[in-house]
Chains A and B, each alone.
Chain A
Amino acid sequence: QKEVEQDPGPLSVPEGAIVSLNCTYSNSAFQYFMWYRQYSRKGPELLMYTYSSGNKEDGRFTAQVDKSSKYISLFIRDSQPSDSATYLCAMSPYNNAGNMLTFGGGTRLMVKP
């Protein structure tokens, strides 16, 4: 079993829909949680970053962390065709020796006009 699980999709939604992307994890040492967006054949782009349970909002994006359930979510409001990409969750333990990221496998999102 992988440390971070993510439904690969694809998830297809109409333009304007609210999108919910999720990850579950098994390692309780993870303290920092990130969401990256990756367009085809491009490098991952950091969208959201949080290290506490609860919600964090940035424009159309809301990241939610529930450490007790080991479950994180990314919500995208008013989705646009330009949001079509693969979304990767990533996690890192608090570790002075370095912060290697453990990624989920990614969810492919398609927003249809």
Chain B
Amino acid sequence: DSGVTQTPKHLITATGQRVTLRCSPRSGDLSVYWYQQSLDQGLQFLIQYYNGEERAKGNILERFSAQQFPDLHSELNLSSLELGDSALYFCASSLDSDTQYFGPGTRLTVL
């Protein structure tokens, strides 16, 4: 158990809908990272927050957004969902800037 929690574990929704994924980092970690893992693209970095502020951005679609709250938990919002958004979404957290610990993931299925 990495200490990173993610909810929900599974999410099934329809195209065009909006969902919110939640992540609680390990106690004491200030950075939260979001990754998407799909069969064809592998594990890809989406976005990083550090102590409430956006720190780095990767291959994140404009339909996706994230935020980190004062209690350091983070939410990833996915809107106007498409079939291709079906994937595993992982959150990771770190204290220092190099060692990231991953949560169990949220499996999103868009029908």
Query: Which residues of A pack against B, CB within 8 Å?
Result: 32, 34, 36, 41-46, 49, 51, 88, 92, 95-106
Q: Is the interface of A mostly helix, strand, loop or mixed?
A: loop
Among A45, A98, A106, point to the contact of B42 (Cβ < 8 A): A106
**CB under 8 Å from chain A, chain B span 61-111:** 88, 90, 94, 97-105, 107
Q: A44-B90, A49-B99, A92-B98 are in contact. Are A100 and B104 (CB under 8 A)?
A: no
Given A43-B103, A46-B101, A49-B98, A100:B42 Cβ within 8 A: no
Segment 19-51 of B: residues with Cβ below 8 Å from A: 31, 33, 35, 42-45, 48, 50
Say which size band chain B's interface belongs to.
Answer: 20 to 34
Would A100 and B45 count as touching, CB distance under 8 A? yes
Contacts of A99 in B (CB 8 A): 48, 56, 94, 97-98, 100
Find chain B residues with CB under 8 A from A97 CB.
55-56
Q: A49-B99, A100-B33, A100-B56 are in contact. Are A43 and B104 (CB under 8 A)?
A: yes
- Cβ distance B3 to chain A, nearest Cβ, rounded Å: 11
Q: Kindly state the separation between the CA atoms of A89 and B94 in the bound complex, as whole angstroms.
A: 18
Q: Are B100 and A46 in contact (CB under 8 A)?
A: yes
- A-B pairs with the 9 shortest C-beta distances? A98-B56, A43-B102, A100-B45, A98-B55, A103-B43, A105-B42, A99-B97, A98-B48, A44-B102
